[in-house]
Structure 1
Amino acid sequence: MRSKKIRNMEEFAAVSGISRPTVSKYFHDPDSVRATTREKIEAALETYEYRPNIYAMNQNRKLTKNIGIVVPYLADPFFAEIARNIEERCIAAGFRPTLYSSHGDPSLETEILDGLRSLKPAGVLLAPLGRASDRSAVEKFCRDVPTVLFDSNIEGLGAAFIGSDNFSFVSQTVEYLTRTGEPPAFFEMKTPANPNANKRRIAYLHMMERLGFEPHVVSIPGEGWAFEEIGKRGALEILKQRALPTDAVLCSNDRLAIGFLSACYELGIRVGREPDCSLRVASNDDHPFSKFTCPSLTTAAHDYDGVSNRSVETLFELVESGGKFRSRTETLFPARLILRASA
């Protein structure tokens, strides 16, 4: 029969016959105590089924091991993938990450940042909403808590920004499409949820001018994060009206492209590089689902590992430097063109 439940470390130290400081030292690092002491503590753990409140222990440290990770929309597999990579790297380094999603809501993003302060985090990795964010709230948080921004940049905020080079994405897709067929139109939302979309449109206009082609930007109504639905609805209208000025389309992101491909299927329009296809579709991101669309999506790929690794490394450097860098740094990773059946 088991003994009574132990409520705290002081009670456990008393029943195990080990001093409170030694017990605490064991829970921070079992190898830091002598083997005989470790065996005695572990035998007592089996007897009393005691497990310390690691969260409370963490909060009592001057510098906790807590890491906050905030993304705009965790239901998006892109953010789920990059957050998974970041979490694994934090855990491997001995930190305790906590993941939050603002669900595209600026007021929730601000609420999350306010709540993170109570965790006394060693640092925070923040992918902000960007244009929709409450800049003053994010700015104040970054002053109070060591923060590295990733994926979505807000100029001047945070100690550093790690992300992808949007010009690299678009320059590769535009160059490929113009070299292999008609120059593409650019398919986007009128009110993009992510500031990267604006940078991609600007890159498209620049590349078309550089290559000597007339640009065609097709902006569809819609806002928020339901990109597939918005893309399909907008594409159905454009395609039914035969309003596309070219037989090649470059979508701002893969999720819009997935909606575009769905509209093409519904209307019986064949997409791809084969002679019986009437439309080519390419995009940007290499979304985790892009290889499974029909046809599979030609896209410019994020360096998921590069962004994840560098984001975590930069945050650790920031923590070790006392929470501040001499100046704000930005690191951009180039894209990699992946050719598939859609273009």
Structure 2
Amino acid sequence: MEDFSEFVGLSRPTVSKYFNDPTSVRKKTRDIIEAALKDSGFRPNIFAVNLNRRRSNILGIIVPDTTDPFYMALTRRIEVIANGSGYLAFVLSSDGDPALEARAIETLRSMNVAGAVIAALGAKSQQDTLHALGQSIPLIYVDSPLDDTSPFVGTDNRQSFKLMVEYLCRSGEPPCYLGMPLVNTNARTREQAYVDAMRQLNKEPVVLPISTGDTWDFERFGFEQTVRFIESGGFPTNTILCANDRIAFGAIAAAYRAGIKVGQTGQGELRIAGHDDHPLSRYACPPITTVAQDYKQIAQGAMDLLFRMIDQDDGNVTAVDASTILLHGEIMLRGSA
């Protein structure tokens, strides 16, 4: 910046003022700087600039899998909101690996980010490290909370699973529950939401015993678990409620391999429902009956809360009240159940 100031023939504060906000300098000065930029090819190092600031204009995002369509849609929406507010969103993936999550956390710390949106790995997450980061910058959790005290924006699993359980019981045999690996807190909260919904309807909940593990390959997991149940005599009911749509993809594929037709009551031997409204769920065969999570509302709610915490931040982030925003899901009735 010093070299460029000398090159353009203006003071360092004037040049710095331009880079912070081009409209803050006179048009004649702006034209001189922009002509010099074109001639010199100079660009400020945004990371170096932010290291010198108490509060940077960089926001961090950590998700378990950047290739998952839900996280892709969520992070894209967060990036759009961040850019519109003058921030640069920086996305990192933990790839379902606690060690990579720890590295991502340290990367955000080293970048002096203004705040972060994180989909944590739950039980395996670097809780102490995240709590320590949360002492210095605002953190908002999405998809699954770190713990009961963490600022969180996500779907109300109790509402959404009650919605689905009521529909399945009303339209056919009560569902058994095919859970997900214990990769985050959703595994337990969704199972409990199913159990509570069944009991409210005076139905006996049937949680299928599944293999232990922490894989994020949900489609393979759902396929292998369904094959195991089919080969050992079948399911206790002809209706399966899966923890998420990716589990349902695998279950439908396993049923197809076994020659079992999946469809609504009277149209198939087995009904399979999911949760999340995965972007490809409407194109499965048959299309999956599911509950939609509104990723746009989740992203907007998370960013609104994050910006509020950033504005309130006086150097002691713990002084900001934690908030929990639970959004209602909407049932999507399709051919699988």
How high is the sequence identity, in percent, across the aligned residues? 39
Equivalents in 2 of 1:89, 1:222: separation in Å? Answer: 38
Which residue of structure 2 lines up, in the alignment, with residue 92 of structure 1? 84
* AA in 1 matched with 2:225: G
What is the CA–CA distance in structure 2 between the aligned matches of 1:35 and 1:324, rounded to whole Å? Answer: 43
> Secondary structure in 2 aligned to 1:69?
strand
User: Could you say what secondary structure the match of 1:311 adopts?
Assistant: helix
Gapped regions of structure 1 (runs ≥ 5) = 1-8
Aligned residue for 1:36, secondary structure, equals helix
Equivalences for 1:22-171 in 2 at 5 Å?
Answer: 22-158=14-150, 160-171=151-162
CA distance in 2, matches of 1:179, 1:108: 44
Instruction: Give the corresponding residue for 2:335.
Output: 341
Q: Distance in 1 between matches of 2:320 and 2:93?
A: 30
- String of CA shifts for 1:145-200, please: whole Å, max 9, x gaps: 22112221122454x111110011210110001101111111114x4212112111
Instruction: Please name the residue that 2:324 is paired with.
Output: 330
Q: TM (normalized to structure 2)?
A: 0.94
Normalising by structure 1, report the TM-score. 0.92
- The 3 A distance-change label for structure 1 pair 53 and 288 is same
**Structure 1 SS opposite 2:209:** strand
Q: Secondary structure at the match of 1:217?
A: coil
Return the letter of the residue paired with 2:246.
R
CA drift at 1:303: 1.6
CA distance in 1, matches of 2:130, 2:34: 45
Deviations 1:80-126 (A, max 9, x none): 22111112211111111111111111222122212221111111111
CA contact (8 A) 1:318 1:324 kept: no
CA distance in structure 2 between the aligned counterparts of 1:137 and 1:88, rounded to whole angstroms: 28
* Structure 1 residues 18 and 133, CA gap change in structure 2 (3 angstroms): same
How many residues align structurally?
A: 333
Give the aligned residue type for 1:40.
I
C-alpha separation between the residues in 2 aligned to 1:274 and 1:148? 42
Contact 2:172 2:265 survives alignment (8 Å): no
Residue 102 of structure 1 contacts residue 108 of structure 1 at CA under 8 Å; is this kept in 2?
A: yes
State which of 186, 189, 192 in structure 2 corresponds to 1:196: 186
Contact conserved, 2:309 with 2:320, CA < 8 A, in 1?
Answer: no
Distance 1:222 1:76 in 2: 22
Distance 1:206 1:197, change over 3 A: same
Q: What's the CA shift for 1:324?
A: 4.5
One-letter amino acid of the counterpart of residue 321, structure 2 = S
Give unmatched runs, 5+ long, in structure 2. Answer: none
One-letter amino acid of the structure 1 residue matched with residue 258 of structure 2: L
Say whether the 8 Å CA contact 1:142–1:157 is kept in structure 2.
no
Alignment partners' CA distance in 2, 1:154 and 1:47? 50
CA RMSD of aligned residues (A): 1.6
Which of structure 1's runs of 4+ aligned residues deviate more than 3 A?
323-326
Question: Helix, strand or coil for the counterpart of 1:121?
Answer: coil
Deviations 1:228-257 (A, max 9, x none): 001101111112223301111100111100
The 2-side partners of 1:15 and 1:110 are apart by: 42
